[in-house]
Amino acid sequence: MSNPSLDVAGIQVSADHYINGQRVASSETFPLHSPIDQRLLGHVSEGLAEHVEQAIVAAQKAFPAWAALGAAGRKPYLDRFADEIGKRADELCQLESNDAGVLLSRMRNGVVPRAMLNIRWFAEHALELQNRTLETDQASHLVRHDPAGVVAIITPWNAPLMLSTWKLGPALASGNTCVLKPPEWAPLTCSLLADAAHAAGLPPGVFNVVQGSGANTGAKLVSDPRLARISFTGSVPTAKWIAQAAGANLVPCSLELGGKSPFVVLEDADIDSAAATGALMYRNAGQVCLAGTRFLVHQRIADRYVEALRAYVEKLNIGDPRDEATEVGPLIHPRQVERVAEYVDRAVAQGARLLWGGARHGFGAQYYQPTMLTDLRQSDEIVQNEVFGPVLTLQTFESDEQAVEMANGTDYGLGGVCYGEQTHAIAVAEQIRTGFIWVNSFGIRDLAAPFGGIKRSGIGREGGAWSFEFFCDVKDVVVPKKPFKASFSHR
């Protein structure tokens, strides 16, 4: 018997799992509250061992036929999947805004179009994997990208729709079948995503959704030896635990983790442009892994830069994310609010100085003021650890060498930003150890480009050919150009 559908802003969304093309209820549920005003959205089915088992078995059974279709045969299904996402654009926007506190304007203008593109782009580019040949003097090497099997996808609560489709696109286009575990704190858009897949006619078992907590549902999923791949985006502690479970079964993992990215402002930077971009670091209430949260500013321009940045920050509209004018919304969960507040309080107690913010915001219980801290040491906790809230730090430097040393002075290496005269900024950016870095810009992405971090920010790359390399078993079929004669000579 199914659990009742949830009614969120007049949108009906299933509270149950989606397994083998059908909705499957659980005898256990967990409550779901909106970060906007803490109202109860409803109760969602909790994934038990039986549901993980059902999903994996369904994916296993569906795999041979889905893989046999080839990229050209899978493309019409995935194009229809993208179309069905588009048909549900308004519902997806409203759901994720209510469920995760994401700005409605950001959902409409960026996330939903990107979700459609994630599916459609990878379906198109999977066609390019066919018939690749490397020619040598001795042989023709026919390089195949074969689907790996059953893939587990685990996504975080700060961007559930975008990151789920970012992984599903290449996984499904490659010919794998998938089990998606959405975030416990924001599962609803993934549930509606299953409806879109069903309406698109994806065969039963190709795409499955099992909801639940990481400690319960996630643990059962990632420890299963029948998985061929695990793709995870989330925190470093959870990634270590997933890697241990996967390692026991030698299951390859792609791990996109946290960031503590530098935002470097060189002496020859356009101060106003760098300040306008700097204010963007507060978007999604700072719950963005790739944001530049450590501002490193040349000491000669630091005072002017702080005032320019302050002017932009003071103009930010903080409030209900469903309001099109809002630019900073709530934090996802009461626990996240406490975590952010405790980081700031400890930093101030240890000698940091507040330039602005530093307290909860009066709009609601899960809102925190955009905050900037300075007078910090490189070893300070708030400089070294990811806060994942609207909290930034500011330090100054005297030379490029010192800026690079400070930029590289954490255990993270996801992204970065560097503002300055272009040639100068490029030269500095090239020395900063990250998976990517934006020069005089922020947030420019292309699905063909690699995305991922180094050090504690992750393992592997997503995007373009890098996604296919992960989700495929790459095989070399070697065909000699001359008749082959066996020999016992040493190779």
Question: 206-223 b/e with 16+ CB inside 10 Å = b?
Answer: bbbbbbbebebbbbbbbb
Closest CA to 363 of 35, 17, 61, 103: 35
Contacts of 312 (CB under 8 A, 6+ apart): 275, 276, 278, 279
Q: Give the whole-angstrom CA distance, residue 419 versus residue 277.
A: 10
Size of the chain, expressed as the number of residues it contains: 491
Confidence label for 487 from pLDDT (cuts 50, 70 and 90): confident
Equal CATH topology for 6-257+457-476 and 261-439: no
- Kindly give the pairing relationship between strand 132-135 and strand 139-147: antiparallel
Model confidence band, residue 2 (pLDDT cutoffs 50, 70, 90): low
**What's the token pair of residue 471?**
């989700």
**What is the spatial distance between Cα 336 and Cα 341, in angstroms, rounded to a whole number?**
9
Summarised one tens digit per residue, pLDDT across range 412-449 is: 999 999 999 999 999 999 999 999 999 999 999 999 99
Residue 61 pLDDT: 98
Task: Report how far residue 441's alpha carbon sits from residue 84's, in angstroms, rounded to the nearest whole number.
Answer: 33
Q: In angstroms, what CA-CA distances link 434 with 136, 289, 339, 414, 430?
A: 35, 13, 26, 5, 9
Per-domain residue ranges of the chain: 6-257+457-476, 261-439
**With pLDDT > 70 as the criterion, what percentage of the chain qualifies?**
99
Tell me the residue type at 221: L
* No. of helices (H) and no. of strands (E), the chain: 16, 24
The residues annotated as belonging to the active site are 256, 289
**The CATH classification of domain 6-257+457-476, taken from the options 3.40.50.300, 3.30.930.10, 2.40.30.10, 3.40.605.10:** 3.40.605.10
In angstroms, rounded to a whole number, what is the distance separating the alpha carbons of residues 413 and 392?
17
Give 344: exposed, middle or buried? Use CB within 10 Å, 0-12, 13-18, 19+.
buried
Please give the structure tokens belonging to residue 121. Answer: 């782009």
Each residue of 187-244: pLDDT tens digit? 999 999 999 999 999 999 999 999 999 999 999 999 999 999 999 999 999 999 999 9
Model pLDDT for residues 348-378, shown as the tens digit of each residue: 999 999 999 999 999 999 999 999 999 999 9
31 touches 3 (CB < 8 A): no
**Which CATH number is 261-439 given?**
3.40.309.10
CA-based Rg of the chain, rounded to a whole angstrom?
A: 24
Nearest residue to 278 via CA among 431, 47, 442: 442
DSSP 376-435: --TTSHHHHS---SSEEEEEEESSHHHHHHHHT-SSEES--EEESSHHHHHHHHTTS-SS
Residues 384 and 260 sit within 8 Å (Cβ to Cβ): yes
